[in-house]
Amino acid sequence: MSGFTSALVSMLRKTLFFGALLLAPYVPLHAQSFPTDDPIIKRIWALGMDSTHVYELSQALFDSIGPRLQGGDELRAGNDWLLSKYKSWGIEAHNEQYGTWRGWRRGYSHIDLISPRVRSLEGQMVGYSPGTGKKDLTATTIILPRFADSTEFVKWLPTARGKFILVSAPQPTCRPREDWATNATPESRARMDSLRTAINAEWGGRNVRGTGYSLALGGGELGKRLEEGGVAGLITSRPKDGWGTIEVFETYNTRAPTVALSCEDYGLVFRLTENKQNPQVRMNLDADLLGERPVFNTIAEIKGTEKPNEYVMLSAHFDSWDGSSGATDNGTGTITMLEAMRILKQVYPHPKRTILVGHWSGEEEGEVGSKAFTEDHPEVLKGLQALFNQDNGTGRIVRMGGAGLPNAAVHIQQWLSKVPTVFQEQVKFNGPGFPAGGGSDDFSFGCNGLPAFGLGALNWDYGNYTWHTNRDTYDKIAFDDLKSNATLTAMLAYLASEDPTMITRERVDLAAEAARMAAQNPAATANGRFRAPTTWPACVKAPRTTNPRLK
């Protein structure tokens, strides 16, 4: 966003603000009812809702620094940017190294179809891909055949030498399912559904087309085997069920580049190849593999006055995949916690308990940073009153549970009874519930039986459009929801810090809780979307150097 645009947006915001006052003089801008007279809650509201910093923080982070791939320079620059923000607000912060990870520099990706006609293809390298040394690499294409077994695959490999290999499923349509549901005849839709299922089954799984190797999250062991066999590069595509979105993950190749194309540009090259129309593709890719480099969590703290050895922790992973800007995964979780700290420092600078924030890295590699933190900080685990983690997109917080601790449920309900009515109506509290099962950083704490709560956000088409895609950018942020999340999180941190008693650690009876939740939500149980854990999740040790995920 240019300086001009940002000035315009800020002017518009002001105009809208005064406009609202003029047009609706009897309705305060944020008509709000507070259940108590607590002046801190009211000040948190005022700061969070009426003088928010979430726009400026988001613009700087997502537009200027961009995505934050584990081990890369942008992540490092982002860690330093967080420090500079905290410093400017008078908050103690540091970058804490917990290990090393492979580093990579993403330069440009130019991918063109040059024969039988010219078209610049929508695509880019997957993360950590080797480049072409900024030179043109032109080759013909070949489709990965179906093999009876890996011996047949190895025999075929010489045929693929020097070619770009198409290794992903050719989608019979790039229209989302919703579009088919709206427009197709029932017969045509059913035909398309079964065609898609068959094609994805043919190309999916861990034994891609019978080679005995998996593509894992982009290249995997099959990518490495093809590289060894002398291919020029791999062309992949992982489309989502949405217009124009693909997932962009990673490869472990070091010589043969791996690119991800849009659903239809992949389809185009595939059909040309299949129909023997002699496609030629030219790649010119700029990238550097940088080897193992130090990786950090950014930790900030507002020291407790009465109980400095008890902790309330804000938590959100800071790293991202790098197909776009990592705005909603997990930029918005990051901004929520950052802005909550800014507010807390102003209205609650001397908390009872120590307030910490963890901006984790390595979450996308398996919650590496937060796991390492739990291993390196037994004192925080011991004194943890509550941890609030947010990591499922830009939406407003609508769900909370007690992380499988019955006593947590009692405390959370008390806290929620003190937040403004709008938040009470918005957040559905699910009772004691279950510990986090993995997939975000609350798991690293929950597996230790700790009060680590996920702040569940409203969906905003997260799965189909922004989660790990090429479309996770600034424009997707729901700013009203984001500022309300920062405000609510600051309130929860304040209330957890002031709470006269600590949450105790008895665990829920998992079977009894499963029955209670099932009774509460029979529909989710019936459709199989709700699956209760039968044992408490076990902690996993944090890898302190690159832990390849090839399978």
Q: Please, which of residues 327-366 interact with Zn ion by CB under 5 A?
A: 329-330
Q: Which is nearer to Zn ion, 221 or 363 (CB)?
A: 363
Residues 524 and 515: their CA atoms lie apart, in Å, by 13
Q: At what angle do helices 332-347 and 73-88 cross, to 10 degrees?
A: 20
In the complex with Zn ion, the residue whose CB is nearer, 74 or 391, is 391
- Closer of 369 and 432 to Zn ion (Cβ): 369
Q: Please identify, using beta-carbon distances, which residue of 330 and 473 lies nearer to Zn ion.
A: 330
- Cβ of residue 386: shortest distance to Zn ion, in angstroms? 20
Residues 3-42, one symbol each (x = binds Zn ion by CB under 5 A, - = not), give ----------------------------------------
Which DSSP string corresponds to 28-84? -TT----SS--HHHHHHHIIIIIS--HHHHHIIIIIII----TTSHHHHHHHHHHHH
Please give the residues from 311 up to 330 whose contact with Zn ion meets the rule CB under 5 A. 329-330
Q: Name the minimum Å distance from CB 468 to Zn ion.
A: 8
**Comparison of 391 and 513: residue with beta carbon closer to Zn ion:** 391
**Residue 310 or 391: which CB sits closer to Zn ion?**
391
**Selected range binding Zn ion among 108-116, 242-250, 341-349, 386-394, rule: CB under 5 A:** 386-394
**DSSP states along 109-157:** EEEEEEESS-EE-SEEEPBT----TTS-EEEEEEE----SSHHHHHHHH
Per-residue 3-state assignment (H helix, E strand, C coil) for 83-99: HHHHHHCCCEEEEEEEE
Residue placing its CB nearer to Zn ion in the complex, 171 or 390: 390
Cα 427 from Cα 430, distance rounded (Å): 9
Shorter beta-carbon distance to Zn ion: residue 298 or 330: 330
Per-residue x/- track, 137-156, Zn ion (CB under 5 A) = --------------------
Nearest distance in Å: CB 143, Zn ion: 34
Nearer to Zn ion, 221 or 391 (CB): 391
Phi, psi (5° rounding) for residue 247?
-85, 145
Considering only 322, 391, 442, 499, the residue that binds Zn ion (CB under 5 A) is 391
Residues near 156 by Cβ (< 8 Å), separated by ≥ 6?
A: 145, 147
| Span of 384-392, 447-455, 476-484, 487-495 interacting with Zn ion by CB under 5 A | 384-392
Task: Pick the piece of the chain touching Zn ion (CB under 5 A) from 40-48, 126-134, 210-218, 387-395.
Answer: 387-395
My answer on whether omega of the bond before 79 falls inside 30° of 0, hence cis, is no
Nearest approach, Cβ of residue 239 and Zn ion (Å): 20
Note whether 367 binds Zn ion by CB under 5 A: no
Q: Supply the minimum distance, in Å, between the C-beta of residue 363 and Zn ion.
A: 6
DSSP letter at 474 equals G
Both structure tokens of 278: 């002699």
What are the residues facing 127 on neighbouring strands? 250
Q: How far is the CB of 357 from Zn ion (least distance, A)?
A: 16
Tell me the CA distances in angstroms from 546 to 69, 156, 551, one per residue in order.
13, 32, 15
Instruction: Give the torsion sign (CA, 292, 297, 298, 300).
Output: negative
Output b/e per residue, 287-326; b: 16+ Cβ within 10 A.
beeeeebebbbbbbbbebeeeeebbbbbbbbbbbbbbbbb
**Would you tell me which residues interact with Zn ion (CB under 5 A)?**
329-330, 391
